[in-house]
Amino acid sequence: MRYVEEFRDRAAALGMAERIRCGAVSPVNLMEVCGTHTVAIFRHGVRDLLPPEVRMLSGPGCPVCVTTNADIDRAIALAEQPGVILVTFGDMMKVPGSYQSLSQAKARGCDVRVVYSARDALGIARANPERAVVFFGVGFETTAPTIAACVLEAESLGLENFSVLSVHKLIPPAMEALVASGEVRIDGFMCPGHVSVIIGSHPYEFIAERYGVPCVITGFEPLDILQGIEMLVRQIAGGQPRVEIQYSRGVRPEGNPRAREILERIFEVDGADWRGLGHIPDSGLKLRSEYACFDARAVHSISPPPTKEHVGCICGDILRGAKTPPECPLYGKVCTPENPVGPCMVSSEGTCAGWYQYGSR
Amino acid sequence: MCLAIPARLFEVEGERGLVELAGVVREVSLMLLPEARVGDYLLIHAGYALQRLDEADAQETLRLLAEVAQAGQEEA
């Protein structure tokens, strides 16, 4: 068992697609709220196996895409401070802020470095004791515990030149904001597998109970995704919305309590601004005041320039599932992966990048 | 960005583990998953092990999928 190839069997995929066809008697909108799902659905051609009754919508599941211009501007303003090394994940580099991206700031001489793991930022901090290392922490519940673990490690190492600019966000409040707005009809949520590895299944229950929207926590191989869709279609037909776990090999109902304990030791829940969704109460993570010495907002005082939005870009509408990329006047013309205007085209997990690269309906 | 890759743990030293990922050896932190044991398949995200993959659950999912494949072929 290697947990990958086994979940790519063609006969099972065709069998599952047939079940979905039989089960989907009326049109349904299913939303995935995970950029990794968005990419996997495109890459494996899942849409081509689905009947016209089943429409897949991409939600605000790409952490890069939902980061606001203001937050990117703040990171750039930090990178411009003398003596600062700004460290982040590669996905963030090319995202345009109001005036420039981190890549462009780097080209202009700012010290911006890309790492695979936040732990690598600790290594940079240890190797550069005279510099201030700021980690630009982006990501959902999957990533945030790894940043929290790093802060604990920095504390135990006695590192005084390491801080985190947290723009971490939480998925269930964004799902609630989408269904509560009623702008787009969502008949079922394909819940993010790796967020759920940490938070488990309970935090989605209020979505099923209060809003009557079925939820299925789904894995990332093609058979996982098809089975997740089949379970959603069956739940919708059965009329009893609840939270089910398709990705049972990785997700326990209780999640990973140890990871959550570390997360909650360092971070507390706070309101957050989302691109496309605006301000959502209790949807972000900020460092607790006990850890203010690791909070870049407390350590560094900066005043980023006023933010502005990209003219014509409809990434906000796309992140809510309200529009599809071809409805954007910039898509494929002014805005391409080589020369992106909006974040949904920059990020490899962005909806526009997926449509552009794989072509789609 | 929430990509997590399955990899087998083959060495543990305190909170550090070594995993094999497509033939490449990587060091990962076991801080979020202290119960990880040598031989486990782990979900690795950004240098951290997040969870053990459960083989019995995986086999059960595959058994259901095999039934679906079988039923599909019989209908065809």
Nearest to A69 by CA among A343, A361, A264: A343
Same domain assignment for residues A21 and A43: yes
Model confidence pLDDT, tens digit, residues A265-303: 999 999 999 999 999 999 999 999 999 999 999 999 998
Cα Rg of chain B, angstroms = 16
The amino acid at residue B28 is V
Same domain assignment for residues A122 and A215: yes
- A68 in Cβ contact with A94 (< 8 Å): no
Q: How far is B73 from chain A (nearest CA, A)?
A: 7
A278 has which bridge partners? A274
Cβ pair A140:B2 closer than 8 A: yes
Contact list in B for residue A64 (CB cut-off 8 A) is: 1
% chain B with pLDDT above 90: 82
Same domain assignment for residues A149 and A276: yes
Model confidence pLDDT, tens digit, residues B20-48: 987 899 999 999 999 999 999 999 999 99
Q: How many domains does chain A have?
A: 2
Handedness of CA A198, A200, A206, A208 (dihedral sign): positive
Instruction: Give me the CATH number covering residue A242.
Output: 3.40.50.11740
Same domain assignment for residues A158 and A122: yes
Spatial distance between the Cα atoms of B30 and B51, rounded to a whole number of angstroms: 10
At residue A226, the pLDDT reads 97
At residue B76, the pLDDT reads 58
Cβ pair A9:B69 closer than 8 A: yes
Q: Which domain holds residue B30?
A: 5-75
Mutate to test the interface with B, among A8, A36, A114, A142 (most CBs of B within 10 A): A142
Same domain assignment for residues A276 and A320: no
A21 touches chain B (CB under 8 A): no
Same domain assignment for residues A328 and A267: no
Contact list in A for residue B73 (CB cut-off 8 A) is: 11, 15
Q: Is the pLDDT of residue B74 over 80?
A: no
Token pair of B15 as six digits: 């909170």
> How does pLDDT run along chain A (361 residues), one tens digit per residue?
888 989 999 999 999 999 999 999 899 999 999 999 999 999 999 999 999 999 999 999 999 999 999 999 999 999 999 999 999 999 899 999 999 999 999 999 999 999 999 999 999 999 999 999 999 999 999 999 999 999 999 999 999 999 999 999 999 999 999 999 999 999 999 999 999 999 999 999 999 999 999 999 999 999 999 999 999 999 999 999 999 999 999 999 999 999 999 999 999 999 999 999 999 999 999 999 999 999 999 999 998 999 998 889 999 999 999 999 999 999 999 999 988 999 999 988 999 999 999 975 4
Spatial distance between the Cα atoms of B32 and B46, rounded to a whole number of angstroms: 12
Q: How far is B11 from chain A (nearest CA, A)?
A: 18
Q: In what order do the strands lie in the sheet with A132-137?
A: A111-115, A84-89, A132-137, A162-166
3-state secondary structure of B37: coil
As a whole number of angstroms, the longest Cα–Cα distance in chain A is 65
User: What single-letter DSSP state applies at residue A144?
Assistant: H
Q: How far is B38 from chain A (nearest CA, A)?
A: 15
Q: Is the pLDDT of residue B59 over 80?
A: yes
Same domain assignment for residues A350 and A296: no
- A153 in Cβ contact with A119 (< 8 Å): yes
Supply the DSSP string of A205-234, one letter for each residue: HHHHHHH---EEEE-SSHHHHHHHHHHHHH
User: What single-letter DSSP state applies at residue A305?
Assistant: P
Place of tokens 């190797």: A127
Expressed in percent and rounded to 5, the helix, strand and coil fractions of chain B are 30, 40, 30
**Total length of chain B:** 76
* Burial letters B32-51, b for 16+ CB under 10 A, else e: bbeebeeebbbbbbbbbbbb
Q: Is the pLDDT of residue B75 over 70?
A: no
At residue A1, the pLDDT reads 84
Cβ-based neighbours of A7, under 8 Å, separated by 6 or more: A219, A221, A222, A223, A224, B61, B62, B65
A296 touches chain B (CB under 8 A): no
Token pair of A161 as six digits: 């030149």
Expressed in percent and rounded to 5, the helix, strand and coil fractions of chain A are 45, 20, 35
Nearest to B52 by CA among A176, A251, A302: A251
Cβ pair B32:A119 closer than 8 A: no
At residue B58, the pLDDT reads 93
3-state secondary structure of A102: helix
Q: How many domains does chain B have?
A: 1
Mean pLDDT of chain B, nearest integer:
92
At residue A310, the pLDDT reads 87
Cβ pair B4:A142 closer than 8 A: yes
Contact list in B for residue A91 (CB cut-off 8 A) is: 1
A274 has which bridge partners? A278
Contact list in A for residue B29 (CB cut-off 8 A) is: 117, 119, 146, 149
Strand B16-21 to B24-29 pairing? antiparallel
Q: How far is B17 from chain A (nearest CA, A)?
A: 14
Touching B: A residues 120-159, CB under 8 Å: 120, 138-140, 142-143, 145-146, 149, 152-153
Spatial distance between the Cα atoms of A357 and A40, rounded to a whole number of angstroms: 12
Supply the DSSP string of A56-67, one letter for each residue: EEE-S--HHHHS
Confidence of residue B72 (pLDDT cuts 50, 70, 90): confident
- ipTM for the whole complex: 0.95
For B46, nearest residue in chain A (alpha carbons): A117
Same domain assignment for residues A343 and A293: no
Of A19, A63, A153, the CB nearest to B1: A63
Model confidence pLDDT, tens digit, residues A65-82: 999 999 999 999 999 999
Instruction: Give me the CATH number covering residue B65.
Output: 2.30.30.140
Q: Which domain holds residue A323?
A: 315-358
